[in-house]
Amino acid sequence: MSFGGSGKGPFDFDASRVPRINIPNFIPKNVVGILVALFAAVTLFSAVYQIQPDENGIVLRFGRFTRITEPGLNFLIPFVERVTKVPVERQLKQEFGFRTADPGVRTQYIDAGFLDESAMLTGDLNVAVVEWIVQYKIKDPEQFLFNVREPESTFRDMTEAAVRQVVGDHSVDEVITTGRASIADQAQEILQTLCDTYEIGIDVQQLVLQDVNPPDPVKPSFNEVNEAIQEKEQLTNQARTEYNQAIPKAKGEAQQMIEEATGYAAARVNRAQGEATRFEAIYEEYRKAPRVTRNRMYLEMLNEVLPRVGKKFIVDEDGASVLPLLNLTGEKNQ
């Protein structure tokens, strides 16, 4: 090889003068077998997956839904299918107006910075700060994953819309005091209807209003109102207790007096009727034999009266002198 002309010059290259370099072979002879074994292990490992007892597996083939797998050991086609695990038996929870900072025996919460969620306008144009939780389960994993984009965020928006709708239909007093349970039930019903309408695959288990307060500037006034309402209910309960004690007692005494009067009237009437019947019977006998009946009545009267008399003396009204008295009492003279 030369850089110019046909003869050899000073710049001609002679390949025979270049030294030979021996490069060692670092690739083992069984590298293909190792790669094949490694590929087979990865393939086998990716083909087997475990579904927990509270989950369902959603298998996608090239991004399209194929089947639902139950808990246990399952298989799929590597590099073609992939699985998404959905907790269908686990009760899930979302918090509104606050967040749980440290769960435990003494759970700590954070409620600052969530006023945009909790501040609501009531039906009487007042503002209330409402904090609540919603507990739910995924009843249809296919609907949950594919019918709505970002289902958890969508469900959160629907929950907030349902609660705001119900709170907007009630007064601030009902929201803060007496109507909390009813509001929670109505909001849960509306939320479940929305979930069924949009086929989001969620079953609403419970919606609970955790804490409902007025805004901080008016909280002292609302606390006074609540105290007045509680005092009113306490006094009402005391009055009902006294009423329940006094009224039945008075009714019982009145009924007892009525029964006694009724019994007394019946006794008097029966006695009068008996005496009238007895008088009629005596009069009938007297009419038949007046003298005999008169003497008999006299003797019967003496028989009834004399035993009641203490000492008895019989005096002869025709006697001219004092005679020894006849002792009819049966007592011995001392």
* Residue 47: other Cβ atoms inside 10 A: 15
Helices (H) and strands (E) in the chain, counts: 8, 11
123 within some domain: yes
Q: Tell me, rounded to whole angstroms, the distance of Cα 269 from its chain centroid.
A: 61
* Residue 204: other Cβ atoms inside 10 A: 24
Residue of 134, 209, 196 whose CA lies nearest to 167: 209
User: How many domains would you assign to the chain?
Assistant: 3
CATH code for the domain of 179: 3.30.479.30
What percent of the chain shows pLDDT beyond 90? 39
- Sheet with 64-69, edge to edge strand ranges: 64-69, 56-61, 81-86
SS3 of 316, please?
coil
SS3 of 75, please?
strand
Residue holding tokens 């695959």? 201
226 within some domain: no
Q: Are residues 62 and 98 in the same domain?
A: no
Low-confidence ranges of the chain (pLDDT < 70): 1-29, 32, 104-105, 312-334
332 within some domain: no
Domain that holds residue 72: 31-86
Please answer whether residues 97 and 111 qualify as being in contact, where contact means their C-beta atoms are separated by less than 8 angstroms: yes
Position 240 scores a pLDDT of 92
Please answer whether residues 201 and 177 qualify as being in contact, where contact means their C-beta atoms are separated by less than 8 angstroms: no
202 within some domain: yes
For 28, phi then psi, to 5°, come to: -70, 160
Q: Are residues 117 and 173 in the same domain?
A: yes
Position 2 scores a pLDDT of 44
- For residue 272, the surrounding DSSP H or E stretch is helix 219-288
Supply the angle between the helices 180-198 and 151-167 in degrees, to the nearest 10: 140
Q: Are residues 97 and 183 in the same domain?
A: yes
Residue holding tokens 């629907």? 158
DSSP 23-64: ----S-TTHHHHHHHHHHHHHHHHHEEEE-TT-EEEEEETTE
Q: Are residues 150 and 209 in the same domain?
A: yes
- Cα–Cα distance list, 285 to 57, 282, 296 (Å): 113, 5, 11
317 within some domain: no
Q: Are residues 294 and 280 in the same domain?
A: yes
Residue 215, by phi and psi: left (phi above 0), alpha (psi -120 to 50) or beta?
A: beta
289 within some domain: yes
Q: What residues have CB less than 8 Å from 223, skipping those under 6 apart?
A: none
Position 1 scores a pLDDT of 45
Q: Are residues 103 and 143 in the same domain?
A: yes
Q: Torsion over CA of 255, 259, 265 and 268, rounded to 10 degrees?
A: -150
